[in-house]
Amino acid sequence: MKLVITSLFSLSLVFSSASLKIGEKLKYSAHFSGVPAADASLEVIGKEKLNGASAYHVRFTARSKGLINYLYPINDRIDLWLNEDSLLTVKELLQIREGNYKKSQKMIFNHNENFVVLNSDTITIPDNAHSPYALFYFFRNKNFKLVKLNTLHTTSGKKTTALKVEIEKDVKVNVPAGDFTCTKVTPVMLNEKKFRNRSQMSILFSDDENRYPVKIWLTMKYGSLVLELESITN
């Protein structure tokens, strides 16, 4: 396997032949440090017109199960609207319920004037900043080629993060949905800290034309969360 680390170079993210398919639903099983924890899904709901432009409506859900549901109940739903051409985030609706933590927010992106409206606050953002939750679809629809320096930004509204990306090719993996050869993508903060400070996220995308997110790792302070693709519905 060839590991390409973009510490000296960054990535040019070029459109591939993959595209979002309306009606597609990817179901995942999630384990926390080896213990069954939750069921999750990524779904392309449809297309809508927002501010005169066509946008994909996609949804991520996660709901805890078994022992985890009693110890640390999870009930998350994230709705995103992504510009059909650029896949930049146009709108984000966030409903997070994890243990005693609750968060709800609405964020509207204006990429022409580089700001977001977070609930009722207007906040300046860099060019082409993404919602971090949209990276699954953004990376999925790109090819990775080394070129001169080019950074990627994500924003939660109040905080913007500059990222580089580590790529590992020809990774073989077995998940409930089958056997896949994948490319591993790991976003890392440019100041060398792990993604989201104390966490590191990696995603395995299948090397076929669909580029399914086959396996997702999130390493946290108290353990690791792993999501594995269970089924694909088109």
Nearest to 209 by CA among 132, 141, 127: 141
Count of helix runs (H) and strand runs (E) in the chain: 2, 17
What is the Rg, in whole angstroms, of the alpha carbon atoms belonging to the chain? 17
Cβ atoms < 10 Å from Cβ of 228: 18
CATH code of the domain in which 211 resides: 2.50.20
Predicted local distance difference test score (pLDDT) of residue 160? 86
Residues 173/158, Cβ–Cβ less than 8 Å = no
Q: What is the pLDDT of residue 32?
A: 84
Domain total for the chain?
A: 1
SS3 133: helix
- Nearest-angstrom CA–CA distance, 123 and 133: 18
Which string of DSSP letters, residue by residue, matches 46-57? EEEEETTEEEEE
pLDDT given at position 159: 86
- Phi first, then psi: what are they for 26, rounded to 5°? -105, 125
Please give the chain's pLDDT, 234 residues, in tens: 333 222 222 333 333 434 688 999 999 999 987 889 999 999 999 999 988 889 999 999 999 998 889 888 889 999 999 999 888 899 999 999 988 889 899 999 999 999 999 988 899 998 888 888 888 788 887 665 443 335 788 888 888 888 887 888 889 999 999 999 998 888 887 765 544 444 478 899 998 888 899 999 886 656 678 999 999 998
Q: Which residues pair with 181 in a beta bridge?
A: 172
Domain that holds residue 194: 3-233
Q: Which helix (H) or strand (E) holds 68?
A: helix 66-71
* Single-letter residue type at 125: I
